[in-house]
Amino acid sequence: MKPDKHWNVPPRVTPEADSALSAFPPLLRQILFNRGFADDPSARAFLRGEPNINTDPFQMTGMKTAVERIHAGIQNRESIAIYGDYDVDGVTATALLVEALKSLGADARGYIPNRFEEGYGLNNNALEELKADGVSLVLTVDCGIRSPNEAAHARTLGLDLIISDHHHPDDENLPAALAVINPKQRGDIYPDKDLAGVGIAYKIAEALLGNEEKTSLAILNSLLDLVALGTVADLAPLVGENRVLVKKGLRQMQQTTRQGLFSLAAVSEVTLRKVNAGHIGFMLGPRLNAAGRLKEALAAFELLTTTDVFKAGELAQQLDMQNRERQRITRDMQTRAEEMVLSEDPDAFLFFAAHESFNPGVVGLAASRLTEKYYRPAIVAAAGEEETRGSCRSIPEFHITDALDQCADLLVRHGGHAAAAGFTVRNENLPALVARLKNIAKEKLSGTELKPTLTADAEVDLSEMRPEVYEKGLKYLEPTGYGNREAAFVARNVKVKSSRTVGADGKHLKLSVEDEKGVIHDSIGFRLGDWHKSMPKRVDLLFTYEPNEYNGRITYQLNLKDLKPATGH
C-alpha cells in the first residue's frame, strides 16, 4: 500500500518580508518568501533568472591548467578525446565540448563507453584503444572522479588526462590527473556546487572561448540547449546557476538550429517553441537516455551532433522505439522486483532485489519506482556471472552514497549523489553487502515516520485561483522541477461536483470542484484514479495551477498532487 502523504504548509510571510516584497502580488510574495527571497533585488534576480554570484569559470580548481593544456593541444594539432557517460548528462556534455573544441579548430572526438561491455566511467581498455588510435589528450565529462587507478594507467600510457565531473569526490583519493575540475572537491572556491556534468562542461567551454567577442558569445549561446537537456534530465537542482543556464537554454531550444533536436521533438510530440523543463524531464530526456540503457549511447550522441536531416530523422525514430521497449522492460522488472522485496520483508527499511534476468540498463528506473511507491531507499541489481551491478535510489532521510562509502571494502567500485548511486560488487561479497546496507538503513531510519512530504506554498480559497495568478506570477517561477518545485496550494473543504476516471486502465482522475462562491474549477489528478471508487462529497486538495491548451484554446486547471477527505467531514 502506498504510504499516506504528509502535507507541509510553511509559515506565513513575515511583515518585514511582506513589506520588502510589496511590488509583487500577495500570493507571489508568499511563494518567494518560501524559497528564501525576502528582499526585492534577490527576488527580481531569481524571477529574471540572473546570476547573483560570481560565475567566472577560472575560480574552479584546475581550470587554468586544463585550458592551457587544451589550447596547446589545439595548436599542436593533437587528437583530443572527450570521454563521457552514457546518460543524457554525459552525452550532452560530450557533444557540447566536441562542438566547442571543433569551433576552435581542434581535432576532437567523442567517446562514450558501452554500459554493458565497459560499464560506467573510465576504463583501461578504452584508454589503451584511444592511445593506439593516436589520441594524446583525454578530457572526461560527468565521470572520472572515482577513477584513481584508471588515471594512473593513463599516465603509464603517456596519455594526458583532465577530469571534469560533478559526482561526490573521495577527497582522500583524488585521481592523479593533469587537472581535476569538480566544484565539490575540497578547497574549490567556485560558489555553485550544484552544476550538472554538462554545466561543468559549459564552464570549460566558457573558459576556452572567453565570452568577450561576439563570435564566442554566439557559439556559447548555441550550446545552451545541450546544457538545458542534460541539467534537467540529470535532476540537478534548478536553483542558482543551473536555473540561469536552463532558463537561457530553454530559450535557445525554442529557436534551435540543431537538426537532431527538431527530429527528437517531432517523435516526442513536443512543440519546441513552447518547450519547458517538464518536456525535457518526461519526453525528450527519456528518449535520449533509452539508447544507453538498452544498447549504446552513441546514437544519442550522433543525434545531437549530426547536421544530416535524414540521419537525424532515422536516429530519432530509433530512440523512440528503444524508449517504448525500455518502458516495457521497466514495467516487467518493477513488478518482479516488487514481488521479491515484498515477499522477503515488506517492512524493511531498505529494499533490495537482484536477479540475473534484470537488464542492467534499466535497474535504476525500477529502483526509482520502488522508492516512489513505498518511500524507502531501494536497490535493484543485475546479477552477472562474477559481479552484480546495482542502482540505488533514496529518500531525503537517507544519503545513499554515504551508506555505500561505509561498505567500500566490499565493493569493486561505487559513486553517486545523496539520492542516487550505483555500484559493482563481486558476487561472493553480495550477501555481506546487503546485510550491512540493511543494518545501516535500520540504524538511520528506525524511529522515523517514513512518509513522503508534499509541500504547498499557502492555503487558499479556490476563488483566488484566476488566470492572472498564473500569467502575472506563477509562470515566472519557471523553469520548475527538481530543487525548484512548482508553486502548490491547499484548498480545504471543497465540494466535488463530478468525478470520472480517464486514461488507460482509468489510472487518472478528472474532477470538477466548486468553491463557496459557486465558481467551478476543472482538475486533473494523474495516477489518482483509485479515488473515484470512494470519492467523498467534500475534499481537501493539494494542487498546482496551470494553463491547459487543447485545440488552440487555453483554459486553466488544477493539477491535483493529492487529496484527502475534507477535515471534519
Q: Helices 259-268 and 298-305 meet at what angle, rounded to 10? A: 120
Reference 483, options 194, 280, 200; nearest CA is 194
- Round to whole Å and give the CA distance between 307 and 244: 28
**Which cell numbers hold the place of 203?**
564552464
Omega before 479 cis (within 30°)? Answer: yes
β-bridge pairing 489-502 and 538-550: antiparallel
pLDDT of residue 1: 44
Residues 68 and 215 in one domain: yes
- Round to whole Å and give the CA distance between 195 and 164: 11
How far does CA 467 lie from the centroid of its chain? 30
Residue 406: give its domain's CATH number: 3.10.310.30
Reference 300, options 91, 81, 116, 111; nearest CA is 91
pLDDT of residue 568: 60
Q: List Cα–Cα distances, 532 to 389, 543, 568, in angstroms.
A: 41, 17, 20
Among 223, 251, 271, the domain-final residue is 223
Q: Tally the residues of the chain.
A: 569
pLDDT single digits (tens) 514-524: 988 888 999 99
In a domain, 516, yes or no: yes
Among 445, 474, 500, the domain-final residue is 445
Residues 105 and 136 in one domain: yes
- Round to whole Å and give the CA distance between 382 and 337: 11
Residues 440 and 465 in one domain: no
- Round to whole Å and give the CA distance between 219 and 105: 13
The 8-class DSSP code of residue 484 comes to: B
Q: What is the largest CA-CA distance in the chain?
A: 77
Q: In which domain, by residue range, is 434 found?
A: 345-445
Instruction: Write the DSSP assignment of 220-234 as a string of letters.
Output: HHHTHHHHHHHHHHT
To the nearest 10°, the Cα dihedral for 171, 176, 182, 187? 50
In a domain, 256, yes or no: no
**Which cell numbers hold the place of 412?**
569493486
User: What is the b/e burial string over 306-334, where b = at least 16 CB atoms within 10 angstroms of the residue's CB?
Assistant: beeeeebbbbbebbbebbeebeebbeebb
Residues 425 and 468 in one domain: no
Residues 406 and 533 in one domain: no
pTM for the model stands at: 0.90
pLDDT of residue 418: 86
pLDDT of residue 512: 96
In a domain, 287, yes or no: no
Nearest-5° angle of CA 109, CA 112, CA 117? 140
β-bridge pairing 458-459 and 351-355: unpaired
In a domain, 319, yes or no: no
Beta bridge partners of 381: 354, 390
First vs last C-alpha separation in the chain: 24
Count CB atoms within 10 A of the CB of residue 464. Answer: 14
Residues 70 and 193 in one domain: yes
Contact 92/230 with Cβ under 8 angstroms? yes
- Round to whole Å and give the CA distance between 242 and 137: 28
Residue 61: give its domain's CATH number: 3.90.1640.30
pLDDT of residue 2: 59
In a domain, 485, yes or no: yes
Instruction: Write the DSSP assignment of 333-375 as a string of letters.
Output: HHHHHHHHHHHH-TT-SSEEEEETTS-TTTHHHHHHHHHHHH-
What's the helix, strand, coil split of the chain in %, to 5? 45, 20, 35
β-bridge pairing 378-383 and 387-393: antiparallel
In a domain, 229, yes or no: no
pLDDT single digits (tens) 37-68: 999 999 999 999 988 889 999 999 999 999 99
Residues 118 and 219 in one domain: yes
Residue 526: give its domain's CATH number: 2.40.50.460
Residues 438 and 548 in one domain: no
In a domain, 125, yes or no: yes
Q: List Cα–Cα distances, 526 to 1, 373, 550, in angstroms.
A: 18, 14, 17
**Which cell numbers hold the place of 501?**
476516471
Residues 72 and 209 in one domain: yes
How far does CA 350 lie from the centroid of its chain? 23
What amino acid occupies position 327?
A: Q
Q: Which residues contact 6 (CB under 8 A, 6 or more apart)?
A: 449, 451, 452, 453, 454
Q: Which residues contact 69 (CB under 8 A, 6 or more apart)?
A: 137, 160, 162, 178, 179
User: What is the b/e burial string over 204-216, where b = at least 16 CB atoms within 10 angstroms of the residue's CB?
Assistant: bbbbbbeeeeeeb
**Which cell numbers hold the place of 221?**
549561446
Q: Strands of 135-140's sheet, edge to edge?
A: 107-111, 79-83, 135-140, 160-164, 179-181
In a domain, 531, yes or no: yes
- Round to whole Å and give the CA distance between 67 and 319: 35
Residue 500 gets the label, from left (phi > 0), alpha (psi -120 to 50) or beta, of beta
Contact 450/397 with Cβ under 8 angstroms? yes
Residue 62 gets the label, from left (phi > 0), alpha (psi -120 to 50) or beta, of left
**Which cell numbers hold the place of 172?**
582522500
Residues 210 and 123 in one domain: yes
pLDDT of residue 242: 97
Among 394, 417, 445, the domain-final residue is 445
Low-confidence ranges of the chain (pLDDT < 50): 1
Reference 231, options 271, 185, 195, 269; nearest CA is 195
The structural domain count of the chain equals 3
Residues 138 and 185 in one domain: yes
Q: List Cα–Cα distances, 216 to 72, 213, 552, in angstroms.
A: 19, 5, 39
Residues 73 and 209 in one domain: yes
